Amino acid sequence: MLFFVESTFTQQCDQPLKTARFDCHPEPFISPEKCLARRCCWNPLVSLTTQPPKNHSINSIEENVPWCYYPRDFPTYQIKTNESTDFGQRLTIVKQQSIYKPNEILNLTVDLLYETAQRFRLRIYDSTKKRFEVPLQVPVIKTKVNVTDYEVSISQVPFAILVKRKSTGVTLFDSSVSPLIYANQFIKFSSRLSSPFLYGLGEHRQPLLINITNEWRKLTFWTRDFPPVQHVNLYGVHPFHINVEMKNNSPTNFHGHFFLNSNAMDIDLQPLPAITYTTIGGIIALFLFTGPSAQDIIQQYWDVIGKPTMPPYWSLGKETNNNDNHKSNHTIDSSQSNNHGKYSQSSLKDLASSTTLALEDINTRQQPTFSYVLAIFDKMFTVIFTIELILKWFAYGITNYLKNGWNKLDFIIVVVSVLGTVLDLFDVADIPAFKSMRTLRALRPLKALSRFEGIRV
């Protein structure tokens, strides 16, 4: 009998690739008894005599290989029903018993939504009880598209989903590498990555390109006010990444994943390569973007979450400190510093424009190169002031904009500058009537005075 148990254990737990082990006991204080109680495999590394440190930020494969990992036949969900819908497919999956975590949800619904040719959406949720979902207004697609860049296949037993790119056969999502765990306060699922090179998964202090070729990495997602140091969670949460697709004799494409979940979560990366999502609540709502370029993925991501808004002008000055505003005078100093920077920036622009005018004299026409350079600068500042005028019109409205005396002066200067530029294009600027109008450009230095409070027109 003892020999039979050992043989069965070996057959289930033999895993030639250490990087293909998926952690069955991510909590600290692991032991063989705790591991086997979850029906997982216990196989310590011979090269290490102590328990693994559970620090997946260390660049060492040996130190971070799980000692407790899922067997290939770990009890998981099986498909009960599979029906076609207007949006794609709806499955119900069931699990016989709860063996991994307390309060496992044994009956789940899986929606496969073929939303666009480049966007696939996966939803897994409780079949009987409504759970919290992020209140983000994402696109609602009621009818699936007929032609897509991806193809989806489903494994019956055990339940798994595989998504591939049609043109190259590259895997975009493959949940078969690890079992799905779905408990009331513990949701965990994994996917194989197409390469060990990723971008995203912020906010964390890390290189722009995440390379997990020889690295296990754990990233925690929960916002907090903390200085930007490595291996900790920071101000923002963006469970979105772009994965580089690398295949011989195929173009380099990209695809992206966005996990729409606002609960505390960990994302584990391992050099298989693979990614594991673990969260303490909500549902599984995963968007897959097929690109194929990185720019395409960002556009597809914006189609889901909304496009970024233009930041207000006042927010583009000196960065406001988050950590040292313990007293009101600190906030006042930061505000005054912002205002000083705003005035300095505008004054420098007006000073440069005024200098360009001051350099013009009666001998300028005798120096063609110098005259050409001044003309270029004059047109450049005309464009800058025109854009500034248009932005103010949108911000204040034309009526409110013209109530201010300085704004009226700006309007006159811009109109004269634009008219002068047009006259130059038609070679009629030397007509005496037009030359006298161009002298109104001398009012341009007065724009700098509008930056100082207390001076009115």
Residue 48, pLDDT score: 57
The one-letter amino acid code at 219 reads L
DSSP code, position 321: P
Rounded percentage of the chain residues whose pLDDT exceeds 70: 75
CA–CA distance, 86 with 109 (Å, rounded to integer)? 16
CA–CA distance, 24 with 366 (Å, rounded to integer)? 83
Rounded percentage of the chain residues whose pLDDT exceeds 90: 54
**Mean of pLDDT values over 17-30:** 94
Radius of gyration of the chain (CA): 31
CA–CA distance, 87 with 144 (Å, rounded to integer)? 4
pLDDT tens-digit series, residues 308-327:
888 776 666 555 555 555 56
| pLDDT exceeds 80 at position 415 | yes
3-state helix, strand, coil in the chain (%, to 5): 35, 25, 40
Look at the alpha carbons of 207, 208, 212, 216 in this order and tell me if their dihedral is positive or negative: positive
Residues in the chain: 457
Instruction: Give the CATH fold of the 78-305 domain.
Output: Immunoglobulin-like (2.60.40)
pLDDT tens-digit series, residues 128-137:
999 999 999 9
- The pLDDT mean for the chain works out to 83
CA–CA distance, 124 with 156 (Å, rounded to integer)? 16
Determine contact, residues 156/94, Cβ cutoff 8 Å: no
The contacts found for 344-352 with CB under 8 angstroms, 24 or more apart, are 346/448, 346/451, 347/448, 347/451, 349/381, 349/384, 350/444, 350/445, 350/447, 350/448, 350/451, 351/448, 352/377, 352/381
Angle separating helix axes 405-425 and 368-396, nearest 10 degrees = 140
pLDDT tens-digit series, residues 197-236:
999 999 999 999 999 999 999 999 999 988 888 889 999 9
Lowest mean pLDDT among 26-30, 108-112, 220-224: 26-30
Enter the tokens of residue 424.
């130059």
Please tell me the CATH superfamily of domain 328-451, with its number.
Answer: Voltage-gated potassium channels. Chain C (1.20.120.350)
Enter the tokens of residue 188.
């965990």
CA–CA distance, 9 with 151 (Å, rounded to integer)? 36
> How many other C-beta atoms are found inside a 10 Å radius of the C-beta of residue 402?
13
Q: Cis link prior to 203 (omega < 30° from 0)?
A: yes
| pLDDT exceeds 60 at position 451 | no
Residue 385, pLDDT score: 81
Structural domain boundaries of the chain?
A: 2-69, 78-305, 328-451
**Mean of pLDDT values over 339-367:** 57
Q: What is the DSSP string of 150-188?
A: EEEEEETTTTEEEEEETTT--EEEEGGGS--EEETTEEE
